[in-house]
């Protein structure tokens, strides 16, 4: 049934591999209704497609509600799968009513672009905090399980003496830095989910994601690994606007989705889980060298400029290496290598959402 389905072939193969290796994780969702906020984002769109393809392959009868802001963007992203979903166009800063049952809520929506966080810190906080509270109210009304997708940025600046960072090792967030609207907002959202679990008995969970990419990452993705990939493909220098010594933590999008499903299946209510592939923790400098080697055969030179003004747009330098032992204890195992993630991302850029090859002018 899916052989002739015209969607991005790299992404389709990636999702099929996820489903084939984790069929048991879908049993609880069969015949149920899931709501996915931020459904046009990287994780939200991957998750939405995963449920849609599972339905096509195994008649899962999972009803998929996609909470979005723009119908046209959704049509562009989902292509032939568009009719597999029920879309709700809504600003999550406003209270939401849904006239049907909901069993699971995956809350992936967030403001992520650093420029927007700095320009609109109030709107960033509103989207994070009001949006999460509104969706928790919906979960309370529908008696739905709720998973909040947080970020490793919630840790702030951690103790540099710690070799690895576990879920309780929160660090310092400078509240006088406008960009702190994002990490501090994430902390508040995590507290909200825990509060709803404690006070109202809602089955809530938090997951703190490492930097996530792989098949399906947007061509115009602005994060540093994608910027380096674009430049390396052209043989251009990879310019680091900092010391290059901050440690990045990475994970495959496919592993994020399997982790989310695992948390709903085996996780403990009210708990927070790190989701990172520990083998992929490395400094920005080491990451840039790796991208250069994989995509340009080492031809792209790495240049450190250490521009203090430019660096203010991004999180402060940190040495933290996330530890995912807690998530591994409930059966999650990451599968992606950095090289494989990078190659899947670049390969998927060659096709649009309906599987047509893109030829650059």
In tens digits, the chain (361 residues) has pLDDT values of: 566 677 899 999 999 999 999 999 999 999 999 999 999 999 999 999 999 999 999 999 999 999 999 999 999 999 999 999 999 999 999 999 999 999 999 999 999 888 899 999 999 999 999 999 999 999 999 999 999 999 999 999 999 999 999 999 999 999 999 999 999 999 999 999 999 999 999 999 999 999 999 999 999 998 999 999 999 999 999 999 888 999 999 999 999 999 999 999 999 999 999 999 999 999 999 999 999 999 999 999 999 987 666 655 666 677 899 999 999 999 999 998 999 999 999 999 999 776 777 755 4
* pLDDT digit string, tens, across residues 89-110: 999 999 999 999 999 999 999 9
Residue 169 CB: number of other CB atoms within 10 A? Answer: 15
Burial of 350 (0-12, 13-18, 19+ CB in 10 A): middle
Region of 331 please: left (phi>0), alpha (psi -120 to 50) or beta: left
CATH 3.30.70.360 for domain 9-217+250-278+320-336? no
Q: Which residue has the tokens 């529908």?
A: 142
Task: Identify the H or E element spanning 254.
Answer: helix 253-266
Query: Tokens 């440690």 map to which residue?
Result: 247
User: What is the rounded distance in angstroms from the CA atom of residue 44 to the CA atom of residue 135?
Assistant: 15
Neighbouring CB atoms inside 10 A of 168's CB total: 7
Strand ranges in 300-339 using DSSP code E only, listed in sequence order: 302-304
The percent of residues in the chain predicted with pLDDT above 90, rounded, is 88
pTM of the model: 0.94
Return the residue matching tokens 């400094």. Answer: 283
């Amino acid at each position: 049934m899916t052989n002739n389905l015209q969607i991005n072939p790299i992404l389709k193969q990636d999702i099929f591999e996820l489903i084939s290796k984790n069929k048991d994780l879908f049993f609880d969702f069969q015949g149920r209704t899931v709501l996915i906020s931020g459904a046009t984002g990287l994780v939200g769109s991957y998750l939405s497609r995963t449920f849609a393809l599972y339905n096509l392959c195994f008649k899962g009868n999972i009803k998929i509600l996609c909470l979005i802001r723009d119908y046209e963007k959704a049509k562009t992203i989902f292509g032939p799968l568009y009719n597999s979903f029920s879309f709700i166009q809504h600003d999550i800063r406003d209270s939401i009513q849904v006239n049907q049952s909901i069993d699971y809520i995956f809350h992936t929506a967030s403001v992520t672009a650093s420029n927007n966080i700095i320009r609109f810190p109030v709107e960033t906080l509103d989207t994070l905090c009001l949006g999460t509270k509104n969706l928790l109210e919906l979960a309370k009304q529908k008696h739905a399980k709720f998973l909040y997708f947080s970020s490793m940025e919630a840790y702030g600046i951690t103790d540099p003496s710690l070799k690895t960072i576990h879920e309780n090792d929160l660090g310092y967030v400078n509240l006088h830095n406008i960009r702190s609207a994002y990490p501090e907002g994430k902390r508040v959202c995590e507290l909200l989910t825990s509060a709803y679990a404690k006070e109202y008995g809602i089955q809530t969970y938090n997951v703190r994601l490492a930097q996530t990419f792989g098949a399906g990452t947007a061509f115009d993705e602005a994060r540093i690994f994608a910027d380096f990939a674009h430049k390396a493909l052209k043989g251009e220098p990879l310019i680091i606007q900092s010391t290059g010594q901050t440690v990045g933590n990475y994970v495959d999008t496919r592993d994020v989705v399997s982790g989310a499903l695992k948390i709903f299946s085996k996780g403990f209510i009210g708990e927070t889980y790190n989701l990172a592939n520990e083998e992929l923790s490395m400094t920005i400098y080491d990451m840039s060298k790796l991208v250069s080697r994989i995509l340009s055969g080492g031809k792209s030179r790495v240049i450190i400029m250490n521009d203090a003004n430019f660096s203010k747009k991004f999180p402060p330098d940190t040495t933290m290496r996330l530890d995912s032992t807690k998530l591994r204890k409930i059966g999650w195992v990451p599968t992606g290598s950095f090289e494989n993630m990078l190659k899947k991302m670049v390969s998927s850029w060659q096709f649009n959402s309906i599987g047509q090859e893109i030829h650059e002018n």
